[in-house]
Amino acid sequence: MQYLVSVINDTINPVMDDRSAEIDVFNDKLQAQGYWVFAGGLSNPESATTIDNRDGNPLVTDGPFAETKEFVNGFWILEVSDFDTVLQLATEASQACNRKTEIRPFL
């Protein structure tokens, strides 16, 4: 089963430390153990563009769709056989990037 492990940052007290070395070690482990599908970092919400074309008249707005205290700063897509494994990996991910993580299964 595939899971999205999101990295959560905070707009009030953002984590700014460079954890790229720790994240690289974690990514290498994921790849070596066959869990890795894809991963990436995301820029801050201020760089977002929101598009609403539900009524056929596209409305393009600079900025995120909602103001929020916390935001997704990056993610991993992992292929694992059970929830306990992804829970352990997300716990390790939180340590590696020094941020909270959230697990969500793909439908």
Model confidence, pTM? 0.89
Tokens describing residue 34: 């066959």
**β-strand pairing of 36-41 with 70-79:** antiparallel
pLDDT by 10s per residue, the chain, length 107: 999 999 999 876 666 678 899 999 999 999 999 999 999 999 888 889 999 999 999 999 998 877 778 899 999 999 999 999 999 999 999 999 999 999 999 99
Residue ranges and CATH numbers for the domains of the chain are 2-100 (3.30.70.1060)
Q: Give the pLDDT score at 64.
A: 80
Nearest partner of 26 among 72, 95, 83, judged by Cα: 95
Burial 37-61 (b: 16+ CB within 10 A, else e): eebeeeeebeeeeeeeeeeeeeeee
Quick one: DSSP state of residue 33?
T
